Structure formats: structure tokens, C-alpha cells
Structure 1
Amino acid sequence: MVTDNTHIGSTQTGASFTESSRSQVRSRSAKGTTQARARAQRVKIDAQASTEEEPTPIHLPTKEWHQERGAKKRTIVTLERAIQDYLDDHEGGNHSPKTLEWHETALGLMRQHLEQERGIASITDVDAPDISAWFVFMRKTPGARGKVRSERTIQTYARSARAFFYWLIRQNLLTTSPFDRVVFPKVGKPLIQTITDEEFEKLLLACIPPNEDGRFAERATVRNCAILWLFYDTGIRVSELTNLRLGDVDRKHGIMTVKGKGAKERRIALGQNCLRNLFYYVDRHRPNEEELTEWGSLGEDHLFLAETRRPLTKNGITLLFARLKKRAGITGKRVSPYIFRHTFAIRYLKLGKDPFSLQELLGHDDMATVKLYMHMNDDDIQEQKRKYIPGDHLPASMPGPRELRRRGFSAMANGLLSLPAPAPQRDLDAFAAGVAPG
């Protein structure tokens, strides 16, 4: 039997061709699938890109935009809301509680008047005549204590309101301030009063409680003396004294750290008399830890404590000075920590003549307030006047009455000058008749 190898080879060759063809087809098919998938993906991406919005160009706010935005806000802001936002802004800026209280009182009084007397509730409705009417109202209407407000109090309230309206402009809530067209209240500069050496001694003696003795009476005496010495030696504010802690006094260097307005700290050196009285109170009479624990005040580190073993308050200081003034018999003069601050400033300038260091010691941001102390107080003015009275320095005798000196005062006794002898009566008669004395 003859085998047809040719057919077999042909068959093998055909099978091989068929397999190769299938491989090529599969390769082309796979390649086509990949490309199709890629094309489909590209079509999808292009479709998404075509459907996206064009990017919005960035435009900076224009002046017209701010004005339009401010106009929308102004239509809805009431006085009550604006005042509260203003107080919140001050509190957020770490302003002192006293400043917040001052603004709240002044602006509350203004809002009450504008709403009740003028029918105004929106900030945009306030005009210059409304502010002027408020000034007149404050002058004629008694305050909370039944007394007519002083010009200085009215000016203080007006300053608060003016600052409020300028704040509204900065917040783009107003375009102009009614205070631009108002005559601002004026007040004269008062004479600066100080505590004399004699009065300070009387106040120290008045620290002893009358008709009281014992350990707690002695404690009150020592504490009050230390307080007076601290005010006299440093001129610090009431709030600064009540906030003092035990750690604020550097015993080694005799320096006290004071936390003033806006949490600003400053250092003040203390004198020997002040340190002696202060440490006598702290070391021997301030309640110890055992006593504080018994009273539920464990860990209390305020420097000055009340009888309740709690920190001494501003109101406590006010009551203390009222008692001391009455016991000392001082009349016709206000006795307060602020007068002690004046006394410190005036004496420091007279002794040191350095307003720049005084500015730092008092905790002022600028020299405006310090310049007030650079003007002599009334006692210094009268003393200078007596030294250089023009009428007492005339070179010759002048006609006049025989009684040339006031009772209780002698110019010669004060070493000022020698007074001329009385003029003869005939010269006085001639002077009265319009004839030159002969």
C-alpha cells in the first residue's frame, strides 16, 4: 500500500497555515479591542471635557462691589445689633473690662435716647441733629443717681459714641459719621489735685480701726497701710492692684510686675518704706495656707485679701478709701487711688524730671496723658506766684491803704521781699484828688 505523503504534507501544511491564520486573527482582534477601548475612553474624556463649564475668571472686588455690599448690610443693621458687634470686637481685641463697661454704658444710653426720644432704630437713620439732641438730653436729664451729669462725663460718653460710628465706617456699614457735622462737647482742664505729706500721714493713721483691737484689727491696719504705700510709691491703677499675685513681687530685687490694660506687663521698682510695709503684711498678717484651707480658699495667691479670704475687689478699695478719708478728717478734696496716681506722677516729675520713664511706669501708650502731668498743679502755681508777684517787686512806694498785709500771711516771713513803708495819708488824699503827691 502506497501512502500519499504529499496529501499528508499538504494536510499538515494546511493545518499549520490555519493555526497561523487564527493566531494572526486573534492578534489583530486583541489589538483592535485595545484600540477600541482606548478610543472609547478618549471619546468619554472628550465628552466630559466638552460638558464642563468654562472656568470663571477671578475678579477682585471693586469699589462699586464694596458699596453695593455695604448698602445691603446697612439696610438690615439695627443700633442694638451694631453696638453688640462693636463690643464683641473690643472684647475679641483683649480690651480691658473697664473699657468694655465704659462703652456699654455710653452706647446703651445713646441707643435708649435715640429709640425712645427720636424713634430711631437703624444706624443709617442717625444724623447730626440726633447726636446734638442727645448731648442736650444728657445735660438736662439727671443720671442714674439723680445728679446732673458733668461736662466731663458727657464728653466721655461722646468720645465713646464717636469711636463707635468711626468703627461702623471701617466695617463698611456707614459711609459718613454724624459726628463729622456735630460740635463736640468741650470741657476745661481741671486743676490736678495731689495728696500732701500731712494728708498722707493722716491716712496712714486712719488705717487703725477705731474701737477695735485684736489680731484681725491689726491685720486690717497692716494691710491697709501696705495698700496706701503701694499706691503712693507706684501710682498703679485700682484694677492693677487688685490683680496682683504673690509671685508678682521680686523680693531679691525689690521690683513688682504689674499687668496693665490689654494684658501688657511692666516692672516698677519699690522704695524701702513700701517694701517694709508690704512684706510685713505678707509675712506676718496675710492668711496662711491653713487658714485659707479652713475658709475654702486653698491656693489663693492674690496679694491682697479681704476679710472673707477672697481677693480684694475694686468696690472694696472704693469703700476703704471712703472710710479712711472720713477717719482722717480730710474735706474739700477727693481722696481716691486716682488722686494717688496724680500725686505719684507730679512728684516723680518734680524729683526726676523724666517724662519718658514716667510714661513707662504709668503704663501709657503715648505721651498725651503724661503731658497733662507736666503742667504744675495748683499748689505749685500759687507757690510760684507768691515768689514773683509783680506788685510786690515795685522799686518805690505806691499809694494805698495803711493795712498792707493779710492776716496770717507775711511776705517778709516767707523771705520774698521787704515791703515799703506805708505812704503818708496826705499822699493818699492827693492821689484820690488826682494830684501828684509832693
Structure 2
Amino acid sequence: MTELAYPYPISTIHSNVQGELEPVRPGALQATTPWRVVLDVYLAGRDSEHTRRAYERHITIALEAIGVATLAELNGIHLSQWRAHVAGSKLAAGSQAQHLAALRSFLKWARTFGAHALPQDVIAEALRAPRATVIKPYVTLSEPEAGRLLAACTNPRDKALIALLLGAGLRAAELVGLDVGDVHEDADGETVLHVRAGKGRKDRIVPIRVDVAAIVRRYLVATGRTLSSDGPLLLSEDPAKRRADRRLSTRAVGYLIDRLCERAEIDAKKISPHSVRHTFAIRALRAGASPVAAQKLLGHSSLATTSRYLDHLELGELRQAVPELPASPVSE
């Protein structure tokens, strides 16, 4: 990602906080509380580690660049200038929106707990996301590439991992968070995944097809387990890890994708675990899933997020969606 550079001087905010910080409750925040302390309290309430890291980075960049010590010093002009700077940067439209959304969310929360008095409508207007038309915003695998990636797996664990990414569209954190008990049969006897505490702390049930379920079962057999076993589904093969702490990490998933892409000769684009999730979404829509069904499968809170995948549909696919004229009486 291209980093933001700001033309204004960056203050050294650390000097405002001396020594170790005592835990602060939201109700104890005041207009004189240094913004870094407020930020720590805010981040402590975020459920996703990925979200915490991203928001901390985006918010810190903004407030260091603006150069205030407390949120009470901010005004609408500061925020409008920051938005103009972000909108004029070389960041992609999606990244610009993330920077602004992080600061907007933080300031709305901080106002609720008394850290500043900026009106909510000023925050919303000054930090509104820039409008942009995004064409094909995601890196995805073609059908041949997806097949080669699956074929590149040389052991049952790797094949189960790729099959779950391609066949269930999970986020990397959701994938490694699966326990064996989260793979079970529903009332119809079909195999489903219970994705626990996904993004936004929302559980969801994701059905998987017979071929994916068979690959997962073969992996369990290869590791001496069954669907009634306890513990993490995907195990680390790192011999240094203790038996009780063998859950695969998200970082390991990224490394594995890199190795498999190299083996599958997929080198024209950078494929990440999220790229495989995007691939699942596109394949689901092309297979006839409605955007609402895809939204439920992917665990998106907003249908607008899912709808961005529609930009990937090719002209031929769009042509098939154009209805014929209604039948009319034949002229005599």
C-alpha cells in the first residue's frame, strides 16, 4: 500500500503521556485526555485483531499529521483538510475509504464518551468517503488457476485448507479458527461449517459441497481423527509447537498460499488467502447465487460490499442476463 505523506508538521504526541498508562474506562475520558489514551480504550473494544491493527495505523497517521494532543483540539476544518489530503493521495479508492472510515468511527465513539464535542454531522460530512467507480477491484484466480492451486497440494492438510478457501469462502482468521466440532451435518444430513465469531463477532453457518466435505474427512483420517474429535481442525506441522498448541496461524496460511502458487506456476499476480475468498465469491455468483445468498455465505454485513463482486462479470455474462422483449400479439 502506498503510504500517506502529509504536508503539515507531525507532532510528537508520545511526550504528552509520561510513564506507564493505567487502564482507562470509557466513562473516565475527558476533553483533556490525550488522544493516544482515548485510542487505546477504543481499540480495546474492537473484536478483530486485524481491525485493531488497521484502525490503529489509520487513526495514528491522521492525528499525528494533523498535530493535536487531544481530540478536543480538532475542528471541522482539520477533518476536511485531512479528507482532501487522503482523496488527493495515490491510495486506491478502497484504501482511501478505509482511512476515512477508521477516523470517522473513532471520533463518533470518542464523542459519545466525552473526549470531544464535535457534532456527529460535522464528523460525517467532513470525513465522508470519496465517490469512485471501481472496476474489477479484486485479484482473483481464473478457473484453470484455481484447479492448478488445488492440484499443487501434496498432503491432506494443504488440500483441505485450499478446498475450504475455494469451497466456503472463509476469511483466513475464520479458517484457522475452525475446530473439528465446527464441521457437522445439518438436519438434512448435509455437511456445514459453523463459523464462530467471524468479522463483527457474528456466527454463521456455511454449507459445503460433498467434494469439499470428503477432502476434509480424508484429512481427519490421515491425522487419526474423526468428526467427533476435539481441538483445531487445521493443525500446524511445526514440530516446535506443543501438542496442545498446534492450531495453524493466519501467517502460515499466507506462506502456504505463496508456496502453492509458485508450484502451480501462478506468478502473474499476487494471490493471498483473501484472493481465494474473492474467487469463491465470483464463482458463487457465476454459478447463479443471488447477491443476497452470496452475502450470507461470505458473512458481509452490507449487501453493497457483496455487490462489488458484480464488477467482475464479463460482457457475455451480462448479455445472458438481458431479458427478451415480452411476447406481443401477432399482426394479421
Give the TM-score normalised by the residue count of structure 2: 0.72
Identify the residue that residue 257 of structure 1 maps to in structure 2: 194
Within 5 Å, give how 1:292-303 maps onto structure 2: 301-303=231-233
Instruction: Check if 1:304 corresponds to 2:231.
Output: no
Within 5 Å, give how 1:2-401 maps onto structure 2: 75-88=31-44, 90-91=45-46, 95-115=47-67, 120-134=68-82, 149-172=91-114, 173-176=116-119, 177-178=122-123, 180-181=125-126, 184-191=129-136, 192-208=138-154, 221-250=155-184, 253-259=190-196, 260-284=198-222, 286=223, 301-308=231-238, 310-373=246-309, 375-377=310-312, 380-381=314-315
Compared CA separation, residues 157 and 330, structure 1 to 2 (3 A) = same
Compared CA separation, residues 385 and 270, structure 1 to 2 (3 A) = closer
Distance of 2:128 and 2:214 partners within structure 1: 52
Compared CA separation, residues 114 and 207, structure 1 to 2 (3 A) = same
Gaps of 5+ in 2: 1-27, 323-332
Compared CA separation, residues 360 and 112, structure 1 to 2 (3 A) = same
Compared CA separation, residues 128 and 312, structure 1 to 2 (3 A) = same
> Per-residue deviation at 1:324?
1.4
Q: Of the two structures, which has the highest relative contact order with CA contacts closer than 8 Å and spacing of 6 or more?
A: 2
Distance of 1:359 and 1:124 partners within structure 2: 39
Q: Deviations 1:220-239 (Å, cap 9, x if unpaired)?
A: x2211111111111111111
Identify the residue that residue 18 of structure 2 maps to in structure 1: none
Identify the residue that residue 396 of structure 1 maps to in structure 2: none
Q: Deviations 1:318-351 (Å, cap 9, x if unpaired)?
A: 1111111122122333322222222222222332
> Per-residue deviation at 1:269?
1.9
Q: Deviations 1:146-201 (Å, cap 9, x if unpaired)?
A: xx754432331111001112223333431324553457444441404432221112
> Contact 1:80–1:111 at 8 Å: present in 2 too?
no
> Contact 1:242–1:311 at 8 Å: present in 2 too?
yes
> Contact 1:222–1:277 at 8 Å: present in 2 too?
yes
Gaps of 5+ in 1: 1-71, 142-147, 209-220, 290-298, 389-438
Larger Rg: 1
Identity of aligned residues (%): 25
Distance of 1:261 and 1:267 partners within structure 2: 14
More displaced, 165-174 or 238-247? 165-174
The Cα RMSD (Å) is: 3.3
Compared CA separation, residues 183 and 243, structure 1 to 2 (3 A) = closer
Compared CA separation, residues 333 and 104, structure 1 to 2 (3 A) = same
* 2:194 partner SS: strand
Q: Which amino acid aligns with 1:276?
A: A
Distance of 2:282 and 2:29 partners within structure 1: 50
Compared CA separation, residues 277 and 160, structure 1 to 2 (3 A) = same
Distance of 2:83 and 2:291 partners within structure 1: 35
> Per-residue deviation at 1:137?
6.6
Give the TM-score normalised by the residue count of structure 1: 0.56
> Contact 2:148–2:264 at 8 Å: present in 1 too?
yes
